[in-house]
Amino acid sequence: MSFRAEKKLTESGFSVKVLDGDMIRAAYKVKLGFDRKDIERNNTNIVKTCEVERENYDILIVPVISPINYCRMMARKKLEPYFYLIYLSSSIDSLKKRDPKGLYDKADRGEILDLIGYSKINPYEVPVDADLEIDTSSSATLESSVETIVEFIKKNSSR
């Protein structure tokens, strides 16, 4: 979804970069897990990357699972006034159906014990301050969700 939004925004004349959470996680020398401490550390790394990259682009799109409200609030504080939290929600059933990495199957088999938002030891805290929320469970198609995001970004960009 983020790369489709990037393409549409670029076609509209914006300079855009997608900072994928998995790519940022992989770029750091210290390999992080998914316990609360490592998630907080990874979110801090993402914010630092955004602070550097935002000088080079009109728009940064940062598709990450950021399950902790405190981390999202910290990111907003450091990156405002041009930080917007777009929360894509979905039902667990929908996530399981479109699970490209097979993570939910692995969690159900006990191979992953700390799957964010699925494991009891690693809950997902629903954002209390989302600027835009889109339920992607079933009613929103991919294209309409992308279009909603692109229009929101255009409306709120500094250009």
Determine the residue type at 32: L
In the set 15, 66, 144, 145, the catalytic residue is 66
Is 66 marked active-site?
yes
Tokens of 63: 């598709």
Euclidean distance between CA atoms 39 and 65, whole angstroms = 9
Q: CB count, 10 Å around CB of 153?
A: 21
User: Which runs of consecutive H residues, i.e. helices, occur in the chain?
Assistant: 2-11, 21-27, 36-53, 69-79, 92-97, 103-108, 142-156
Instruction: Return the bridge partners of 132, or none.
Output: 86
Tokens of 6: 């990037």
Q: Which secondary structure element, helix H or strand E, spans residue 89, and what is its range?
A: strand 86-89
Longest Cα–Cα distance in the chain: 49
Q: Active-site residue numbers? A: 66
